[in-house]
Chains A and B, each alone.
Chain A
């Protein structure tokens, strides 16, 4: 990476040293493209996407080293170089050039014409202790579908499950995404940064991403020799939850220069959660995760190996066990669960146990022309076991200990991409991706069959940047082959059915800056999604929903035409953003209620068959913040979504209700001995969902609710980096409410007041 000039030949001295480190802004965000240089040697290097720079071959001596980047104030320091050294640069923005920085930051990043939002990790580090779906609600337009307090799946602009792609460390998260009670199998503490792309992002990350992509990216491995790390601790009163996560990382020096490593682990334990009036029996959980990575970088080459394990056991609320529809109605009529519960950490039947292992190998190579090739290979194993509340009817101890449902999904993915250097205002990338999955189902009762699939895709994205304008377009083709293996119930003979799907994905968009503070963007994207295995083949009772679901193997792919438009305004005191979208999805797959209920031995169940219709999702996500007094901000986030079934001229079921989120905050960089002090009071108001099709649900959607949350956070000076502390109170007024998108709304209230304390020590 270092550039040698002829004036000072390289290797003039016997011992040369390296200078490396990181360039970031005062909030710790990396500044990519910052130039670190030593004028006296005529040497310079450019910080990479993670803000990391590395200069080698430096002779010992005293030098003036500078770090600069357009939009930031140039910094110079005098350094004595007598060993491999590390220097961390913190650049402050040069306000006169702020706008240039904004555009430069957006530039060259793919999919820059759709809205991308970053979850503020530095401010709410304690939020990593929450399920991913919960913490993402801080982003306008995001919601979560839940099954009780500990199972949460993200919803982007009204869509969830298989329609959202979660990219964990660059790898498509592949578990059993189809189930509403199948939460993403990952540890948010692994991620240094969590961001969300709202809109058609399938072009880059593969089909399925009809609604958007959630990206979890670990921080870059350290570049400077030495050892560092962090410890995060969180305790919460509700559920008496304790979460601990620790990271240890380092880079090696001398002969092993270029090697870096990181190990990380998380432990989580919670008992029964409590609503304002009663405990939720058997809602405890235990989780233990760890990950390890090792990387090597030299000159233009970078290779990394990553392994992570996620393991959890989650109790299913015992008030939600209903046999049939009569039980469900009886449960709903009660204002509280029939059997009172007390606090306990014990997890009884029913529960689910999930293990997810990920191995990833990736390599990057930077060409002399500035282009870059990236390749990664990953293997994921996902094992989900579900134990019903009742033991199987058997005398055989082996059968008694068996889960009623067991799914094992093994996924292999391989991606290769070439990122072109910017030339004549054009930049872009091309790539290939491949995936294969094998699903093995073994259960006492049937739910979904075994399958094997192969997917292959190729994409090209091109971007044009000139002055205030960014234009972007891309095309992608994917082919999916699926073979489903089954056994005839009567003859036990094996048979299989084969399907294939192929489709084009496309995107076209622009971003344009109007004047100093204003920018607009628009994007049109076509995406598709092949029907998932449950939509094709499920046949059985969904216990917690007391419904009988029937798949349809004749379903065809969904096709989405998503038009998004956004505008952003930013000044010293005021900033605002608005995203509008119109997502027309043809052949949208959903479970349609059948008129004829299904009678089996355990009772009569309403039946649902997977079917297709043309639907439309329209909505708006608005956010605005205003500094009305020095240190005081008022921030608002408002989201609306309207789902409409164009085929049957009716509303779409399970659309998030209108959500209003207002936060009043007070911030000081320094207050006495404390740094980064912030106090905030938040109100979240959710309306009642009134747009539901008739006879599609057992009971009407619950009434709207309004919650208050409070937060106090600061940094205590301690050694070099300080200790971050955060005190939060959720549901401050202890309101009893139910949420429409929570599958347990039939049985119980949401959790009541919760006091949370988090501490983070970096070293």
Chain B
């Protein structure tokens, strides 16, 4: 019986000593190598005028926070009845130099789809020009062609849809990783 008591005593001491490991005081720093999605850019180049290149930027530096995003540069002015080559770029601006998230999306292009919604009054059509490696190949939307019509203004909504194992070419399946709006003026 005495043995049992002393064994328990030793076990308790070991455990109490373990309790004094103050792991919680060393708060883990942000995980290195992980990239936050902070910025979505639209880079457009006029197919007839390579000097007409613009970049619109939607930026949220605190992606886990409720502070409002910076949308001051989330606008584009396009020419009427023109064709633009467009690229959708995703960045991590919490790092310096900025982290390129587009690359990771491209690597997992079979799970992703970029979807565009044009508001009424804006004469813009968007056609995706890149394809993934699914069979049959499905569009991705990181590279696109914008075709403008008559003058007008409105909003272009860009969504990055995450569709692991459910990608079927439509926007519906999956969940949203990014959902941002740009002000587009055609004049």
Task: Give A contacts to B, CB under 8 Å.
Answer: 296, 298, 301, 303, 305, 318, 321-324, 326-327, 330, 338-339, 348-349, 359, 361, 363, 377, 379, 389-396, 398-399, 402, 408, 410, 412, 436, 438-442, 444-446, 449-452, 485-487, 489, 492, 494, 496, 539-541, 548, 550, 598-604, 607
Q: Do residues B175 and A548 form an inter-chain contact, with CB atoms below 8 A?
A: no
> Closest 3 interchain pairs by CB?
A323-B176, A396-B33, A603-B179
> Which residues on the B side are within 8 Å of A391 (C-beta)?
108
Report if A393-B104 is in contact (Cβ < 8 Å); known contacts: A361-B12, A603-B179: yes
Rounded to whole angstroms, the CA-CA distance of A176 and B187 in the bound complex is: 56
Interface stretch, picked from B125-133, B138-146, B160-168, is B160-168
> Which residues on the B side are within 8 Å of A485 (C-beta)?
24-25, 27
Output the least CB separation between A757 and chain B (Å).
Answer: 33
Rounded to whole angstroms, the CA-CA distance of A410 and B8 in the bound complex is: 20
Q: Do residues A600 and B64 form an inter-chain contact, with CB atoms below 8 A?
A: yes
Report if A438-B33 is in contact (Cβ < 8 Å); known contacts: A410-B19, A539-B65, A604-B179: no
> Which residues on the B side are within 8 Å of A598 (C-beta)?
66
> Which residues on the A side are within 8 Å of B179 (C-beta)?
323-324, 326, 601-604
Contact of B69 among A399, A442, A601 (CB under 8 A): A601
Report if A492-B29 is in contact (Cβ < 8 Å); known contacts: A298-B1, A323-B176, A439-B24: yes
B109 at the interface (CB under 8 A from A): no
Q: List 29 A-B contacts (CB under 8 A).
A: A296-B1, A303-B1, A305-B8, A322-B175, A323-B175, A323-B179, A377-B12, A389-B175, A390-B162, A390-B175, A391-B108, A392-B34, A392-B35, A393-B36, A393-B104, A395-B33, A398-B33, A399-B32, A399-B34, A402-B31, A410-B19, A438-B19, A439-B24, A452-B24, A485-B24, A489-B65, A540-B64, A601-B180, A602-B63
Output the least CB separation between B147 and chain A (Å).
Answer: 26
Point out which of B34, B36, B63, B178 has the most chain A C-beta atoms below 10 A from its C-beta: B34
Output the least CB separation between B58 and chain A (Å).
Answer: 8
Q: Do residues A412 and B66 form an inter-chain contact, with CB atoms below 8 A?
A: no
Contact of A359 among B1, B15, B27 (CB under 8 A): B15
Point out which of B12, B31, B68, B101 has the most chain A C-beta atoms below 10 A from its C-beta: B31
Rounded to whole angstroms, the CA-CA distance of A321 and B173 in the bound complex is: 10
Q: Do residues A379 and B34 form an inter-chain contact, with CB atoms below 8 A?
A: no
Interface residues of B in 4-50 (CB under 8 A from A): 4-5, 8, 11-12, 15-16, 18-19, 21-25, 27-38, 40
Point out which of B29, B69, B92, B165 has the most chain A C-beta atoms below 10 A from its C-beta: B165
Rounded to whole angstroms, the CA-CA distance of A725 and B1 in the bound complex is: 42
Q: Do residues B8 and A393 form an inter-chain contact, with CB atoms below 8 A?
A: no
B177 at the interface (CB under 8 A from A): yes
B174 at the interface (CB under 8 A from A): yes
> Which residues on the A side are within 8 Å of B101 (C-beta)?
393
Q: Do residues B8 and A394 form an inter-chain contact, with CB atoms below 8 A?
A: no
Task: Give B contacts to A, CB under 8 Å.
Answer: 1, 4-5, 8, 11-12, 15-16, 18-19, 21-25, 27-38, 40, 58, 60, 62-66, 68-69, 92, 101, 103-105, 108, 111, 162, 164-166, 172-180
Report if A303-B29 is in contact (Cβ < 8 Å); known contacts: A323-B179, A393-B34, A412-B16: no
Report if A394-B65 is in contact (Cβ < 8 Å); known contacts: A323-B176, A379-B18: no
Output the least CB separation between A74 and chain B (Å).
Answer: 35
- Cβ-closest chain B residue relative to A297: B1
Q: Do residues B172 and A303 form an inter-chain contact, with CB atoms below 8 A?
A: no
Q: Do residues A412 and B19 form an inter-chain contact, with CB atoms below 8 A?
A: yes
> Which residues on the B side are within 8 Å of A450 (C-beta)?
23-25, 27
Q: How many residue pairs bridge A and B at CB < 8 Å?
A: 168
Output the least CB separation between A413 and chain B (Å).
Answer: 11
Q: Do residues A452 and B22 form an inter-chain contact, with CB atoms below 8 A?
A: yes
Rounded to whole angstroms, the CA-CA distance of A311 and B61 in the bound complex is: 38
Rounded to whole angstroms, the CA-CA distance of A323 and B177 in the bound complex is: 6
Report if A444-B34 is in contact (Cβ < 8 Å); known contacts: A303-B5, A323-B162: yes
Rounded to whole angstroms, the CA-CA distance of A585 and B55 in the bound complex is: 55
Report if A436-B19 is in contact (Cβ < 8 Å); known contacts: A339-B166, A539-B64: yes
Q: Do residues A438 and B24 form an inter-chain contact, with CB atoms below 8 A?
A: yes
Point out which of B18, B36, B108, B164 has the most chain A C-beta atoms below 10 A from its C-beta: B164
> Which residues on the B side are within 8 Å of A363 (C-beta)?
5, 8
Q: Do residues B108 and A330 form an inter-chain contact, with CB atoms below 8 A?
A: no
Q: Do residues B11 and A348 form an inter-chain contact, with CB atoms below 8 A?
A: no
Q: Do residues A442 and B104 form an inter-chain contact, with CB atoms below 8 A?
A: no
Q: Do residues A301 and B1 form an inter-chain contact, with CB atoms below 8 A?
A: yes
Q: Do residues B173 and A339 form an inter-chain contact, with CB atoms below 8 A?
A: yes
Contact of B164 among A390, A393, A412 (CB under 8 A): A390
> Which residues on the A side are within 8 Å of B162 (C-beta)?
323, 389-390
> Which residues on the A side are within 8 Å of B21 (C-beta)?
438
Contact of A324 among B12, B58, B176 (CB under 8 A): B176
- Cβ-closest chain B residue relative to A495: B27
Output the least CB separation between B175 and chain A (Å).
Answer: 4
Q: Do residues A601 and B165 form an inter-chain contact, with CB atoms below 8 A?
A: no
Rounded to whole angstroms, the CA-CA distance of A363 and B9 in the bound complex is: 12
Q: Do residues B104 and A395 form an inter-chain contact, with CB atoms below 8 A?
A: yes
Question: Can you add 4 more A-B contacts, CB < 8 Å, to A348-B165, A487-B29, A601-B177?
Answer: A361-B11, A394-B104, A548-B66, A603-B176
- Cβ-closest chain A residue relative to B59: A601
Contact of B27 among A301, A438, A486, A600 (CB under 8 A): A486
Output the least CB separation between B26 and chain A (Å).
Answer: 8
- Cβ-closest chain A residue relative to B66: A598
> Which residues on the B side are within 8 Å of A398 (C-beta)?
33
Rounded to whole angstroms, the CA-CA distance of A698 and B165 in the bound complex is: 28
Q: Do residues B172 and A338 form an inter-chain contact, with CB atoms below 8 A?
A: yes
Contact of A487 among B8, B27, B164, B176 (CB under 8 A): B27
> Which residues on the B side are within 8 Å of A323 (C-beta)?
162, 175-177, 179
Q: Do residues B1 and A394 form an inter-chain contact, with CB atoms below 8 A?
A: no
Contact of A601 among B30, B111, B178 (CB under 8 A): B178
> Which residues on the A side are within 8 Å of B177 (C-beta)?
323, 390, 601-602
Contact of A550 among B11, B66, B92 (CB under 8 A): B66
> Which residues on the A side are within 8 Å of B176 (C-beta)?
322-324, 326-327, 602-603
